[in-house]
Structure 1
Amino acid sequence: MLRFDDLQLFVRAADLGSLSAAARVMDLSPAVASAALKRIEQQLGTRLLARSTRSLRLTAEGEGFLEYARAALSSLDEGRRLLASSQDHVSGVLQLSAPSDFGRNQLLPWLDEFQREYPQLTVRLLLGDRIADLFRQPVDIALRYGEPEDSSLIALPIAPDNIRVLCAAPSYLARHGEPRHLEQLAQHNCLLYMLGSRVHDHWSFHDAKREVSLTVSGDRFSDDADVVRRWAVAGVGIAYKSWLDVSGDVLAGRLRVILPELRGERTPLNLLCAHRAQLSKPINLLREMLVARCATLTAQSPERLNAG
Structure 2
Amino acid sequence: MKNLQDLEVFAEVAATGSMSDAGRTLRLSPAVVSKSIRRLEEQLGVRLLQRTTRMITLTETGRGFYERLLPVLAGIEEAEAFVEGHTSKVRGRLRISAPTSFGRMHIAPHLANFMNAHEGLEIELILSDAFVDIVADGFDLAVRIGELSDSTLVARKLAPVRRVLCASRQYVERFGAPQSLEALEDHVCLPAHNGEYWRLEGPEGPVSFRPVGRLVTNSSEVIREAVLAGMGIALRSTWDIGPELAAGELVQVLPDYKSPDNVGLFAVYASRNFLPAKVRLFIDFMAGLYGPSPYWDRAVL
TM-score class, shorter: 0.5 to 0.7
Q: Is the Cα contact below 8 Å between 2:190 and 2:211 reproduced in 1? A: no
Tell me the equivalent position of 1:217: 212
One-letter amino acid of the counterpart of residue 241, structure 2 = V
Tell me the equivalent position of 1:285: 281
- Partner Cα separation in structure 2 for residue 86 and residue 224 of structure 1: 43
Change in 2 beyond 3 A, CA 1:129/1:109: same
Structure 1 residues 146-195: Cα deviation after superposition (integer angstroms, max 9, x where no partner)? 34446211111112x3232112222322332222222221122211122x
- Partner Cα separation in structure 1 for residue 190 and residue 231 of structure 2: 8
Q: Is the Cα contact below 8 Å between 1:166 and 1:238 reproduced in 2? A: yes
Tell me the equivalent position of 1:95: 95
- Unaligned 5+ runs, structure 2: 1-82
Change in 2 beyond 3 A, CA 1:179/1:125: same
Structure 1 residues 282-304: Cα deviation after superposition (integer angstroms, max 9, x where no partner)? 322222232233233278379x9
- Partner Cα separation in structure 1 for residue 118 and residue 156 of structure 2: 23
Q: Is the Cα contact below 8 Å between 1:167 and 1:240 reproduced in 2? A: yes
Partner-residue secondary structure (3-state), 2:297: coil
Partner-residue secondary structure (3-state), 2:171: helix
- Partner Cα separation in structure 2 for residue 85 and residue 263 of structure 1: 40
- Does 1:168 find its partner at 2:167? yes
- Partner Cα separation in structure 2 for residue 90 and residue 251 of structure 1: 39
- Does 1:300 find its partner at 2:279? no
Overall identity of the aligned pairs, in % = 30
Structure 1 residues 231-264: Cα deviation after superposition (integer angstroms, max 9, x where no partner)? 2223222111223332233234332222222232
Q: How does 1:1-308 map to 2 (within 5 A)?
A: 83=83, 87-149=87-149, 151-159=151-159, 161-194=160-193, 199-200=195-196, 202-266=197-261, 267-276=263-272, 279-295=275-291, 296-297=293-294, 300=297, 305=301
CA RMSD of aligned residues (A): 2.9
Q: Is the Cα contact below 8 Å between 1:128 and 1:224 reproduced in 2? A: no
Aligned residues: 218
Q: Is the Cα contact below 8 Å between 1:168 and 1:258 reproduced in 2? A: yes
Structure 1 residues 105-137: Cα deviation after superposition (integer angstroms, max 9, x where no partner)? 222212233223334322111111221111221
Change in 2 beyond 3 A, CA 1:151/1:111: same
Return the TM-score normalized by structure 2: 0.63
Q: Is the Cα contact below 8 Å between 1:156 and 1:272 reproduced in 2? A: yes
Larger Rg: 1
- Unaligned 5+ runs, structure 1: 1-82
Return the TM-score normalized by structure 1: 0.62
One-letter amino acid of the counterpart of residue 186, structure 2 = Q
Change in 2 beyond 3 A, CA 1:118/1:226: farther
